[in-house]
């Protein structure tokens, strides 16, 4: 198969296009012919070797978590999918498997969901990691309640665009930060308060909206960009930090500091072990129009390095995807 892979970690230039063996599904795996691979910040961090504490790097190594495509074959114990089905998934990449920047990729059946008829594959490829992480941070870890006040730090990126909409859909009032260029975009997603972090003081602007502090703060940017984050949360409230690998500070000290002021503090890593049901739920919300897809910018697979430069800037609005094959 054709794939974009690396033979050493490093900058975007280490990504190379060439031929690799097509993977073979194990009993519970689905072999997917990839139409589109979704891009996440984890991809450039992975390319640079920052995921080494979580996985061995075995070269040639295919980057990429997210995929949408067509089932090509199934392992002997797969019952709910058959060749020809349209599917999307965060693949087996989080468990160390080869990724989605390739003509074919593998995903355990518990990580695969069908793409609703009304969604295209390019749209589905934008969902897995960003939407799943947002969902788990708000609901599974954050325990979001209707009527609560939620602050999403970093509202205009992949994760943030879903987080602000999920929170609003669940009946919360939502405030979020973004740069000047994204204020109107965030307002369009329905946030009650879009805070321009380049021009406004986040703490005083938020305090005017939530005088006792917010019920739930999701930090999707990193600790250094939000000094004093605990002061923004009411006593008894919750802080959910999305681990970034590059700006997480002293995690144990942060949790102790939160405890001292009666704020529940959790780190929310994406958990894709049994994510098929949540992915289906998210896809249904998108299909029925409750959640709007963020802007999706497409690159050919061979331009993965260019796409990595954009995601690595840390200021992309919405999602980036790679077109791997014309399958619909
Ligand atoms: N551990 C996990 O399981 C997991 C899973 C998913 C994501 N993540 C991490 O979560 C982070 C966000 O992911 P993503 O997919 O949303 O990334 P993304 O699509 O690259 O979006 C990043 C967003 O951050 C915003 N931003 C940058 N600096 C900011 C600041 N100082 N204040 C407020 N917003 C700021 C940017 O908006 P502006 O351009 O408007 O500044 C941009 O839209 C990344 O570090 C990613 O690696 C971790």
pLDDT tier at 56, thresholds 50, 70, 90: confident
Q: What is the position in ligand 1's atom list of the atom closest to the CA of 40?
A: 15
316 lines ligand 1 (CB under 6 A): yes
- Cβ neighbours, 10 Å, residue 97: 18
Fold of 2-128+272-323: Quinone Oxidoreductase; Chain A, domain 1 (3.90.180)
Q: Is the pLDDT of residue 69 over 90?
A: yes
Supply the pLDDT for residue 185: 98
What are 112's two structure tokens?
Answer: 């695969």
Q: Of all residues in the chain, what percent carry a pLDDT higher than 70?
A: 100
- Judge whether 179 and 203 are in contact, CB under 8 Å: no
| Ligand 1 pocket check for 178: Cβ under 6 Å | yes
Q: Is the pLDDT of residue 55 over 90?
A: no
CA 123 to ligand 1 center in whole angstroms: 20
Spatial separation of the C-alpha atoms in residues 10 and 308, rounded to whole Å: 12
pLDDT in tens, 188-239: 999 999 999 999 999 999 999 999 999 999 999 999 999 999 999 999 999 9
Q: What ranges do the domains of the chain cover? A: 2-128+272-323, 143-267
Residue nearest to atom 25 of ligand 1 (CA): 154
Structural contact between residues 294 and 317, judged by C-beta atoms closer than 8 angstroms: yes
Q: Which residues contact 258 (CB under 8 A, 6 or more apart)?
A: 230, 239, 264, 265
Q: Are 313 and 48 in contact (CB under 8 A)?
A: no
The residue ranges of DSSP E strands in the chain, in sequence order, are: 2-6, 16-19, 29-39, 61-62, 66-74, 86-89, 104-108, 113-114, 149-153, 173-178, 193-196, 214-219, 233-241, 264-267, 296-300, 319-323
252 pLDDT tier (thresholds 50, 70, 90): very high
Tell me what pLDDT residue 288 has: 97
Residue 128 beta carbon below 6 angstroms from any ligand 1 atom: no
Class of domain 143-267 as given by CATH = alpha beta
CA distance 266 to 166: 19
- CA–CA gap between residue 233 and residue 236 (Å, rounded): 8
| 315 Cβ inside 6 Å of ligand 1 | yes
Distance from C-alpha of 48 to C-alpha of 192, rounded to nearest angstrom: 37
- How far does the centroid of ligand 1 lie from the alpha carbon of residue 40, in Å? 9
Beta bridge partners of 110: none
245: left (phi over 0), alpha (psi -120 to 50) or beta: left
Closest CA to 58 of 91, 100, 97: 97
Percent share of the chain, pLDDT over 90? 98
- The pick from 126, 136, 154, 313 for probing ligand 1's pocket by mutation, whose C-beta has the most ligand atoms within 8 angstroms, reads 154
Which phi and psi angles does 207 have, rounded to 5°? Answer: -60, -35
pLDDT at 85 exceeding the cut of 90? yes
- Ligand 1: does its nearest atom lie under 6 Å from the Cβ of 4? no
Query: 184 Cβ partners below 8 Å, 6+ apart?
Result: none
pLDDT tens digits, 151-179: 999 999 999 999 999 999 999 999 999 99
**Region 115-121 average pLDDT:** 98
- The two three-digit tokens of residue 253, written as one number: 């000290």
Collapsed DSSP state (helix, strand, coil) of residue 102: strand
273-327 tens-digit pLDDT: 999 999 999 999 999 999 999 999 999 999 999 999 999 999 999 999 999 999 9
Q: DSSP character for 21?
A: P
Ligand 1 touching residue 278 (CB < 6 A) = no
179 lines ligand 1 (CB under 6 A): yes
Do residues 175 and 149 touch, judged by C-beta distance below 8 A? yes
Task: List, in order, residues 6 or more apart from 165 with CB less than 8 Å away.
Answer: 189, 190, 291, 292
Check pocket membership of 320 for ligand 1, CB cut-off 6 A: no
Distance of alpha carbon 213 from alpha carbon 64, whole angstroms:
38
CA–CA separation, 100 and 91 (whole Å): 7
| Shortest-distance atom of ligand 1 to CA 318 | 19
């Amino acid at each position: 198969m054709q794939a974009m892979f690396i033979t050493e970690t490093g900058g975007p230039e280490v990504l190379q296009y060439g031929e690799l063996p097509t993977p073979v599904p194990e009993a519970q795996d689905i072999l997917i012919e990839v139409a589109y691979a979704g891009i996440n910040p984890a991809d450039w961090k992975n390319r640079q070797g920052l995921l080494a504490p979580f996985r061995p790097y075995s070269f040639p190594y295919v980057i990429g978590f997210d995929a949408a495509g067509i089932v090509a074959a199934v392992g002997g114990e797969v019952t709910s999918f058959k060749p020809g089905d349209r599917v999307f998934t965060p693949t087996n990449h989080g468990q160390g498997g080869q990724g989605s920047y390739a003509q074919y990729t593998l995903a355990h059946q518990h990580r695969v969901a069908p793409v609703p008829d009304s969604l295209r594959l390019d749209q589905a490829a934008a969902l897995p990691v960003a939407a799943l992480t947002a969902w788990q941070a708000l609901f599974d870890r954050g325990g979001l309640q209707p009527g609560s006040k939620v602050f999403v730090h970093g509202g205009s990126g992949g994760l943030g665009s879903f987080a602000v909409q999920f929170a609003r859909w669940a009946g919360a009032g939502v405030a979020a930060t973004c740069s000047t260029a994204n204020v109107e975009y965030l307002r369009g997603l329905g946030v009650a308060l879009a805070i321009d972090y380049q021009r406004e003081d986040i703490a005083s602007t938020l305090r005017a909206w939530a005088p006792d502090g917010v019920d739930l703060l999701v930090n999707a940017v990193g600790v250094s960009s939000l000094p004093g984050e605990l002061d923004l949360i009411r006593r008894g409230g919750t802080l959910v930090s999305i681990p970034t690998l590059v700006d997480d500070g002293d995690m144990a000290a942060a949790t102790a500091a939160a405890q001292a002021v009666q704020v529940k503090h959790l780190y929310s890593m994406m958990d894709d072990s049994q994510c098929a049901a949540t992915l289906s739920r998210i896809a249904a919300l998108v299909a029925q129009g409750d959640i709007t897809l963020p802007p999706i910018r497409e690159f050919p697979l061979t331009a993965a390095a260019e796409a990595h430069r954009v995601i690595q800037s840390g200021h992309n609005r919405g999602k980036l995807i790679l077109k791997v094959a014309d399958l619909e």
